[in-house]
């Protein structure tokens, strides 16, 4: 409901629509990421407008499936939590493609990102196609914070979302049109997470439990970026993927 209200407000007043996508900042993230890349390989994926975004592909030794890793607001595909997830999930048997999502200037608010959703939906679509072209039959999305909200939009707006499971970690602004989502989902957040994440958790749980194979997991003592609890987060996600990507 909050996301729908924000979107309606943006359309009504035009606020946020003037905030242009910050390709320069995205390029800086890419250069910094590639300069320190130790695990995996960088790939370039081209959008319809000719823009190329970076993805970090990490191959599992004996892949049981693949996962698209989606970062939070303004970050990059190898930043802290996302660098951990893309490598530890590969170690757990799931090849990963951590993608760069649209970024805005550092001063941008959450509402400013709403007009970026069509772009992020295209990036999820292309990432899934890229993994399927590599031969993966089972693909999941593992998304965090605003990246989870963007993944939600992909799953409810893309004509045929080419993924088999969705993990949303510390999602902000709640779930939208969950009735459109037919794949198993995992809702993960921490007891010390941001209030906007913890608010509405019971409602989210009621929605996702209507979908076979879905669950909600609350990690005790975890904050928004799961510092000091990355291993537990990976264990929870890998266990879920092991059940649903068969």
Going from the first residue of the chain to its last (246 residues), give the mean pLDDT of each consecutive group of 10, the final group possibly shorter: 44 48 92 93 97 97 97 93 98 98 90 94 98 98 97 95 97 91 97 95 94 97 97 98 95
So what's the pLDDT on residue 19? 65
Question: Cα(153)–Cα(200) distance, rounded to whole angstroms?
Answer: 18
So what's the pLDDT on residue 16? 42
Residue 167 and residue 240 in contact, taking contact as beta carbons nearer than 8 Å: yes
pLDDT in tens, 131-175: 999 999 999 999 999 999 999 999 999 999 999 999 999 999 889
End-to-end alpha carbon distance in the chain: 34
Secondary structure letter of residue 79 according to DSSP: S
What are the phi and psi torsion angles at 89 (to 5°)? -70, -35
Secondary structure letter of residue 60 according to DSSP: -
Question: Cα(168)–Cα(175) distance, rounded to whole angstroms?
Answer: 10
Q: How, if at all, do strands 139-144 and 215-219 pair? A: unpaired
Provide the residue ranges of all domains of the chain, joining segments of one domain with +. 2-244
Q: How many CB atoms lie within 10 A of CB 240?
A: 22
| Residue of 83, 89, 134, 87 lying closest to 241 (CA atoms) | 89
At 203, is the secondary structure helix, strand, or coil? helix
Question: Cα(232)–Cα(239) distance, rounded to whole angstroms?
Answer: 11
Secondary structure letter of residue 123 according to DSSP: H
| Residue of 39, 47, 109 lying closest to 74 (CA atoms) | 109
Question: Cα(75)–Cα(29) distance, rounded to whole angstroms?
Answer: 8
State whether CATH 3.40.50.1820 applies to domain 2-244: yes
So what's the pLDDT on residue 3? 45
Burial of 127 (0-12, 13-18, 19+ CB in 10 A): buried
pLDDT in tens, 53-78: 999 999 999 999 999 999 999 899 99
Two tokens, residue 236: 């929870």
Residue 178 and residue 153 in contact, taking contact as beta carbons nearer than 8 Å: no
């Amino acid at each position: 409901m909050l996301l729908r209200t924000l979107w309606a407000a943006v359309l009504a007043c035009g606020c946020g629509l003037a905030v242009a996508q910050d390709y320069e900042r995205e390029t800086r993230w890419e250069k910094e990421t590639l300069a320190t890349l130790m695990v995996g390989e960088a790939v370039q994926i081209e959008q319809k407008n000719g823009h190329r975004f970076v993805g970090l592909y990490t191959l599992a030794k004996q892949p049981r499936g693949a996962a698209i890793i989606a970062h939070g607001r303004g970050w990059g595909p190898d930043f802290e939590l996302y660098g951990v997830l893309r490598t530890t999930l590969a170690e757990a048997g799931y090849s990963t493609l951590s993608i760069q999502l649209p970024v805005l200037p550092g001063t941008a608010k959450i509402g400013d990102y709403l007009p970026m959703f069509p772009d992020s939906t295209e990036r999820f679509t292309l990432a899934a196609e890229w993994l399927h072209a590599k031969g993966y039959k089972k693909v999941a999305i593992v998304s965090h914070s605003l990246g989870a909200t963007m993944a939600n939009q992909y799953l409810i707006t893309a004509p045929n979302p080419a993924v088999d499971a969705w993990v949303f970690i510390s999602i902000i602004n709640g779930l939208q049109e969950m009735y459109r989502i037919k794949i198993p989902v995992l809702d993960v957040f921490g007891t010390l997470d941001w209030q906007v994440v913890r608010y509405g958790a019971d409602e989210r749980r009621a929605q996702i439990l209507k979908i076979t194979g879905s669950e909600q997991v609350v990690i005790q003592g975890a904050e928004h970026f799961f510092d000091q609890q990355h291993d537990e987060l990976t264990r929870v996600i890998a266990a879920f993927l092991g059940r649903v990507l068969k």
